[in-house]
Amino acid sequence: MSQSKIKRRVGKYEIGRTIGEGTFAKVKFARNTETGEPVALKILDKEKVLKHKMAEQIKREIATMKLIKHPNVVRLYEIMGSKTKIFIVLEYVTGGELFDKIVNNGRMREDEARRYFHQLINVVDYCHSRGVYHRDLKPENLLLDAYGNLKVSDFGLSALSKQVRDDGLLHTTCGTPNYVAPEVLDDGGYDGATADLWSCGVILFVLLAGYLPFDDSNLMNLYKKISAAEFTCPTWLSFSAMKLITQILDPNPMTRITIPEILKDEWFKKGYKPPVFKEKDDTNLDNVEAVFKDYEEHHVTEQRDEQPTAMNAFELISMSKGLNLGNLFDAEEGFKRETRFTSKCPANEIIHKIEEAAKPLGFDVHKKNYKMRLQNLKAGRKGNLNVATEIFQVAPSLHMVEVRKAKGDTLEFNTFYKSLSTCLEDVVWKTEEDMKELHV
* Residue 405 annotated as part of some ligand binding site: no
**Could you tell me where the beta strands, DSSP code E, fall in 261-362?**
302-307, 338-343
Q: At what angle are helices 239-248 and 192-209 packed, to 10 degrees?
A: 150
Q: At what angle are helices 192-209 and 110-128 packed, to 10 degrees?
A: 170
Q: Please pick, among 100, 125, 136, 409, the residue that the annotation labels catalytic.
A: 136
CA 97: distance to chain centroid?
8
Q: Where are the alpha helices (DSSP H) in 129-272?
A: 182-185, 192-209, 219-227, 239-248, 259-263, 266-269
Query: Of 71, 204, 201, which Cα lies nearest the Cα of 126?
Result: 71
CA dihedral defined by 51, 6, 21, 49, rounded to 10 degrees? -10
Please give the span between the terminal C-alpha atoms of the chain, in angstroms, as a whole number.
Answer: 29
Active site residue 136: yes
Query: Of 167, 131, 135, 176, which Cα lies nearest the Cα of 152?
Result: 135
d(CA 384, CA 270): 47
Sequence-distant (≥ 6) Cβ neighbours of residue 427 within 8 angstroms: 343, 345, 349, 350, 353
Q: Residues comprising the binding site?
A: 42
Q: Which residues are known catalytic residues?
A: 136
- Residues making up the annotated binding site for ATP are 42
